Amino acid sequence: MLEMLEIKTTRTQNSRLSSVDFENLSFGKYFSDHMLVADYADGKWQSCEIVPYGNFSLDPATSVLHYGQAIFEGIKAYKFADGTVSIFRPDKNWERFNKSASRLEMPEVPQEIFMDGLKQLLDLDRDWVPSADGTSLYIRPFMFATEVALGVHPSISYKFVVITGPVGAYYSKPLKLKVETHYTRAADGGVGFSKNAGNYALSLYPTKIANDEGFDQLMWTDAKEHKYIEEAGTANLVFRIGDTIITPHGDTILHGVTRRTIIELAEHFGYKAEQRKVSVQELIEGIEKGIVLEAFAAGTAATITPISTIGYEGKLYELPGAEGRSFSDKVLKYLNDLRYGRIADEFGWNFIV
């Protein structure tokens, strides 16, 4: 724990805010003026401060560059019409971040740094939070090993950093996904549930193959039999079969905050929600029979993005179009109304800055 809870702030003298084209945000293009940086060494968090956004200098033997102890999160903040800034369920990301940290033998980040730090950082950079529908401030907390050493062991020092930036949509159209039946994202007992950098690195080559075949992303399947659907790599997957909302479950997939929110809202809206294994066969047969009514990707960056087409063993399967999206449209409208402060926060999901 930090002995001194006050997070020191050094303000930038050169704000870059005026260079942002808020009409054309896309994703991950702009970074706000400040970042939070906390350092861990000798078994405790030594310092935490907010400083102008800028480079790090790393020794070439810094262990993250060799053995990959690196984890991150994705969170979004929204601006209400009256200017209030609100972060969506950051407590759930904080919990997941610490689960990722434990799995990679990294230290947990305490509330004083993660939650209070977020609040202080966003308070300082509140002018960077966009307000138009579909826009938000993307928050990227991450932690990496900083020990300078080439022996394979858990680092003795770490840097926890939070950067932010205004964003628009990650995906701008419905997705065409390829069911991956050769490469594997995660196996039982592995690190599939943790949000570590390596899970993204390993996805790049198979995703490139799928992109070259005309797909936007992969639909990962289980490592053992390539029989059960897992996640899309950049987001979780959710299906509607009749009035049942189904999402794959298990330790090989990321337990997304958006995914969890959708399950909670499904129950709230009177749908049946199931977290269980979904076989490729069940999905493909369900599409052919016309009983899979909706399929979508769910994540912080992706929000809720419909899936239009699924490619499996050389064949393409088309999902119903926009007219069939009664559940995902309802959830997305509810979430937008909640996140932009247009309806009461009945679940206590908005963390006001």
Binding flag, residue 300, ligand COI (CB under 6 A)? yes
Considering the complex, what minimum distance in angstroms separates the CB of residue 163 from ligand COI?
Answer: 13
Phi, psi (rounded to 5 degrees) for 252: -90, 0
Nearer to ligand COI, 302 or 335 (CB): 302
Residue number closest to ligand COI, CB atom: 74
Considering the complex, what minimum distance in angstroms separates the CB of residue 316 from ligand COI?
Answer: 24
Stretch that binds ligand COI, among 82-90, 202-210, 223-231, 293-301 (CB under 6 A): 293-301
d(CA 308, CA 285): 16
Considering the complex, what minimum distance in angstroms separates the CB of residue 299 from ligand COI?
Answer: 4
Could you tell me how many residues of this chain bind ligand COI (CB under 6 A)?
A: 6
Considering the complex, what minimum distance in angstroms separates the CB of residue 110 from ligand COI?
Answer: 22
Binding flag, residue 266, ligand COI (CB under 6 A)? no
- What dihedral angle (degrees, nearest 10) is formed by the CA atoms of 326, 249, 318, 269? -10
Stretch that binds ligand COI, among 9-17, 78-86, 244-252, 298-306 (CB under 6 A): 298-306
Binding flag, residue 206, ligand COI (CB under 6 A)? no
d(CA 291, CA 241): 6
Considering the complex, what minimum distance in angstroms separates the CB of residue 175 from ligand COI?
Answer: 13
Binding flag, residue 168, ligand COI (CB under 6 A)? no
Amino acid identity for residue 197 in this structure: A
Binding flag, residue 301, ligand COI (CB under 6 A)? yes
Binding flag, residue 234, ligand COI (CB under 6 A)? yes
Considering the complex, what minimum distance in angstroms separates the CB of residue 74 from ligand COI?
Answer: 2
Residue of the chain from 107, 166, 299, 311 that contacts ligand COI (CB under 6 A)? 299
* 250, burial (CB in 10 Å: exposed 0-12, middle 13-18, buried 19+): middle
Considering the complex, what minimum distance in angstroms separates the CB of residue 176 from ligand COI?
Answer: 17
Considering the complex, what minimum distance in angstroms separates the CB of residue 296 from ligand COI?
Answer: 14
Nearer to ligand COI, 27 or 269 (CB): 27
Touching ligand COI, residues 73-92 (CB under 6 A): 74
Stretch that binds ligand COI, among 17-25, 295-303, 321-329, 331-339 (CB under 6 A): 295-303
Binding flag, residue 7, ligand COI (CB under 6 A)? no
Residues that bind ligand COI (CB under 6 A): 74, 234, 299-302
